[in-house]
Structure 1
Amino acid sequence: MSPYSLIERLPTPSEHLFLWEAVGWGSVDPETAASSIARSLYGVVVLHEDQVVGMGRIVGDGVMYFYIQDVAVLPDHQKHGLGKMIVERLMVHIRQCRLKNGAPFVGLFASQGKEPFYEQFGFKNHAPGMTGMFTVIDA
């Protein structure tokens, strides 16, 4: 029996902040994180001995556009298949949400060097024909 369990729920703001910082993504404003998490479509956490050690969530419109967001696993718990378990469950949820004749767009941003991990789920870099772009609006 695995020492890990996947639970279908969003991370709490404190769990989100803890994992966010633990994987080296910097810091995030707790109020901003709480509001963002509350507007998520779906999420999962991975527990080990009643502690959250991994998370992932889906944002988007829930019909045509889905974005996989915040897939993170504590460094001490990486290399145990938890990231794969998280993404597989998120993809199952997206497939369940799709409309009968729909073909949802599923996007994500991968940390540098993690592209091969996401390729196993069918994600690919579409450059140069299509480029992912983003901006951050600072105060």
Structure 2
Amino acid sequence: MTDAIILLNRLPTSAEHRRLAEAVGWTEAFDWDTMPASLAGSLAGEVALDGDDVVGMGRLVGDGVKYFYVQDLAVLPEYQGVGIGTALLQRLLDHVANTASSTAFVGLFGTDGAIPLYRRHGFTHGDMTGMFRLVEPASS
């Protein structure tokens, strides 16, 4: 990841989310009218900034106790391949490890191009259609 990129623990705004989602081809994947409420219902979020511009995002949804789902992890195409997605994912997984009181289930749905990233972080198909990873709590 380049030194110019800063990661912040916050959700993207609706406008930031839409800009990133559309840039990676997810134009039809969302009901844009409900996105503000969906974002508000998130457990945690991370954004990557280059100056004042949000160039990457990721968030967690779920019950915040046992089940967590990585949602909307996206990086602008011109910023892909330099570790931003990896850094965002790791920060989300760190949030799970620091929040869960016992082993947590972390699920996600990924595009074909993102599967290598998730596999590098321990996600597998298991006997399910989606992918998951068990995250142990961080030691105190």
Same fold (TM over 0.5): yes
TM-score by length of 1: 0.88
Query: Counting strand residues as a fraction of each chain, which structure ranks higher?
Result: 2
Aligned to 1:135: none
**How many pairs were matched up?**
129
Alignment of 1:39-54 (within 5 A): 39-54=41-56
Alignment of 1:67-78 (within 5 A): 67-78=69-80
Q: Deviations over 1:10-59 (max 9, x none)?
A: 00000001001000012433321111000000000000021000000000
Identify unmatched segments of 5+ residues in structure 2: 131-140
Q: Deviations over 1:72-124 (max 9, x none)?
A: 0000111111000000000000000011xx11100000101321110111101
For the pair 1:95 / 2:97, whether they are aligned, the reply is yes
Task: Go from structure 1 to structure 2 and tell me whether the alpha carbon gap of 1:79 and 1:131 turns closer, same or farther (over 3 Å shift).
Answer: closer
Identify unmatched segments of 5+ residues in structure 1: 133-139
Matches of 1:131 and 1:78, distance apart in 2: 26
TM-score by length of 2: 0.87
User: Which amino acid letter does the alignment assign opposite residue 119 of structure 2?
Assistant: E
Alignment of 1:1-139 (within 5 A): 2-27=3-28, 28-99=30-101, 102-126=102-126, 129-132=127-130
Sequence identity of aligned pairs in percent?
A: 48
> Which of structures 1 and 2 has the bigger CA Rg?
1
CA-based RMSD: 1.5
